C-alpha cells in the first residue's frame, strides 16, 4: 500500500485538522484505469486542487474550504465551472475546460460551450477519442471544440446535455442582476465620477464577490509517476458571448508532462485568474518548464515574477492577476529496504498574485484532505505582489501479498 509523509513549506496560515474526504475525490480528474487502483479498489497517488484565485473573505473561509474539497469530487454550484457559473452579457452560461495527460502529452479542450453540466468531461472524452487514431478518410480527430459544435459532439458521444436554465442557480442569477445594474449605472456617468463614489463601487464589488472562484482545477500523479492536469471555468462575469478564457487554451489553463531524457522531473500545472493575462503569458507551460530547475520553490518564485508579473507581454497592465498550483515528482534515489518497494518524491506548491487562493491536497489512499486559503502577506498589493507556499510528499508503494 501507499504511505504518505508530508513536510509543509512556508505555510503562513495554520491549517485546520484534515476532515474526512469523499471517496470519489478523483472523479474530476482524468478517468482512472484499473492500473491506477490497488487490489482493494482504492485510488492511489497524490492530488492537489484549487477552487480559484481571487478574494476569499474570512467570514466564509469554512465554506470556501468545503468547496475546495468538493471540487475534486464533482463541480460544485458554489464555484464557477459548470452549474452555477457566471452569466455572460446575454444572461447565458458558456464554459471552458481542458485536460492534459503527461504520459501521452495529449490534450483535450472545449470553449464557450453551453448546455453541458461538466465541461471537463467533454474535454476528457476528446482526449480519449483522439487516442484511438484517425477518423474515416484519414481525418485528424479534434482536440479543441467550441460553442454549438462542442455541445453537439458531446451529446453524440454520450454526454448528457443540461438545459441552460437549469445550470443557473439563485446565486448566479442574483449576481447577474447586480452586475447588469452596475453596468447600466456606469454607462450613465462619465469618467469624472467622483472619488468617493468610485471607492464605494469598488467596495460593493468586493462584497458581492462577482468574478470570484472563477475556476476549479486539479493536478495528479499516479503510482507509476504519471501526471495529469485539468481545469474548468465559467469565465468572467458579464463576459462577451463567445469569449474563451485560459481554461481552454493549450499551455495556458493546464499543463502535464512526464519525465523524459530532457526533463528529469514529471510536472503538472493548473491555473486560475484573469484569463487574458494567463493566455498572453502561457503561464501553465512556463511554470512547468521552470520546475525542471533544482530548487522548485525558487524556480516557481522566479517564474511568477519574471514570466507573469514582469512579463513584457503584460507591460501595459498595472494589475496582473493569476494563480497556479504545481507539482513535480521523480523516483527517489535513496536506497530502499527491498527492490520491490518503490518511492516517488512529490513536491507541490501554489502561488498567486490575487488576494487569496483556495487549495486542497491529499493522498488518495488515506482518504483525508488538507485545505488551506493562502493569502498575500500583510500590506502586499494584489496584482503586484505574490505569495508562494507548498510542501513535500513521499509516496511509498509496497507490494501486496496474496495468500
**Each residue's pLDDT tens digit, 225-248:** 999 999 999 888 889 999 999 999
What per-residue confidence (pLDDT) applies to 77?
46
Share of the chain above pLDDT 70, in %: 75
CA–CA dist 211, 251 (Å, integer): 22
Reported as half-sphere exposure (CB side, CA atoms, 13 A), residue 140 has a value of 3
Confidence band for 78, pLDDT divided at 50, 70 and 90:
very low
Q: Cβ(28)–Cβ(74) under 8 Å?
A: yes
Confidence band for 320, pLDDT divided at 50, 70 and 90:
very high
pLDDT above 90: residue 72: no
Q: Which residues contact 133 (CB under 8 A, 6 or more apart)?
A: 141
pLDDT above 80: residue 323: yes
pLDDT above 70: residue 342: yes
Report helix, strand or coil for 24: coil
Closest CA to 217 of 82, 52, 102: 52
| pLDDT tens figures, 301-310 | 999 999 999 9
What per-residue confidence (pLDDT) applies to 341?
67
Choose between 65 and 141: higher pLDDT: 141
Q: Cβ(150)–Cβ(135) under 8 Å?
A: no
Q: Which of 79, 169, 191, 215 is catalytic?
A: 215
Share of the chain above pLDDT 90, in %: 52
| Among 44-53, 273-282, 310-319, 360-369, the least confident range | 360-369
Examine the residue annotation and report whether 215 is marked as an active-site residue of this protein.
yes
What per-residue confidence (pLDDT) applies to 389?
96
pLDDT above 50: residue 81: yes
Amino acid at each position: 500500500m501507499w504511505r504518505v509523509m508530508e513536510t509543509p513549506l512556508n505555510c503562513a496560515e495554520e491549517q485546520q485538522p484534515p476532515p474526512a474526504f469523499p471517496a470519489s475525490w478523483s472523479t474530476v480528474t482524468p478517468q482512472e484505469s484499473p492500473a491506477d487502483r490497488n487490489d482493494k479498489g482504492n485510488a492511489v497517488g497524490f492530488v492537489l486542487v484549487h477552487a480559484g484565485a481571487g478574494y476569499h473573505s474570512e467570514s466564509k473561509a469554512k465554506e470556501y474550504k468545503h468547496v475546495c474539497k468538493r471540487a475534486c469530487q464533482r463541480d460544485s454550484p458554489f464555484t464557477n465551472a459548470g452549474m452555477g457559473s457566471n452569466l455572460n452579457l446575454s444572461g447565458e452560461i458558456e464554459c471552458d475546460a481542458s485536460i492534459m495527460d503527461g504520459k501521452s502529452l495529449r490534450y483535450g479542450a472545449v470553449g464557450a460551450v453551453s448546455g453541458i453540466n461538466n465541461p471537463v468531461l467533454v474535454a476528457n472524452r476528446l482526449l480519449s477519442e483522439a487516442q484511438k487514431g484517425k477518423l474515416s478518410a484519414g481525418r485528424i480527430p479534434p482536440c479543441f471544440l467550441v460553442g454549438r459544435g462542442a455541445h453537439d459532439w458531446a451529446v453524440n458521444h454520450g454526454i448528457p446535455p443540461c438545459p441552460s436554465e437549469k445550470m443557473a442557480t439563485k446565486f448566479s442569477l442574483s449576481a447577474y442582476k447586480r452586475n447588469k445594474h452596475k453596468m447600466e449605472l456606469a454607462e450613465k456617468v462619465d469618467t469624472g465620477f467622483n472619488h468617493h463614489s468610485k471607492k464605494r463601487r469598488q467596495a460593493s464589488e468586493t462584497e458581492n464577490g462577482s468574478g470570484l472562484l472563477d475556476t476549479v482545477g486539479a493536478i495528479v500523479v499516479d503510482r507509476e509517476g504519471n501526471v495529469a492536469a485539468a481545469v474548468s471555468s465559467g469565465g468572467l462575469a458579464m463576459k462577451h458571448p463567445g469569449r474563451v478564457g485560459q481554461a481552454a487554451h493549450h499551455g495556458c489553463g493546464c499543463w502535464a508532462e512526464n519525465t523524459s531524457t530532457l526533463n528529469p522531473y514529471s510536472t503538472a500545472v493548473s491555473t486560475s485568474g484573469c484569463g487574458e493575462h494567463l493566455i498572453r503569458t502561457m503561464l501553465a507551460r512556463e511554470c512547468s518548464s521552470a520546475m525542471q530547475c533544482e530548487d522548485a520553490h525558487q524556480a516557481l518564485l522566479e517564474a511568477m515574477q519574471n514570466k507573469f508579473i514582469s512579463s513584457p507581454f503584460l507591460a501595459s497592465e498595472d494589475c496582473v492577476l493569476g494563480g497556479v498550483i504545481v507539482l513535480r515528482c521523480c523516483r527517489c534515489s535513496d536506497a530502499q529496504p527491498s527492490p520491490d518497494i518503490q518511492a516517488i518524491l512529490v513536491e507541490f506548491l501554489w502561488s498567486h498574485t490575487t488576494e487569496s487562493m483556495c487549495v486542497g491536497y491529499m493522498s488518495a489512499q488515506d482518504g483525508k484532505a488538507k485545505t488551506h486559503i493562502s493569502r498575500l502577506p500583510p500590506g502586499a498589493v494584489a496584482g503586484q505582489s505574490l505569495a508562494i507556499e507548498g510542501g513535500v510528499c513521499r509516496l511509498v508503494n509496497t507490494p501486496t501479498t496474496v495468500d
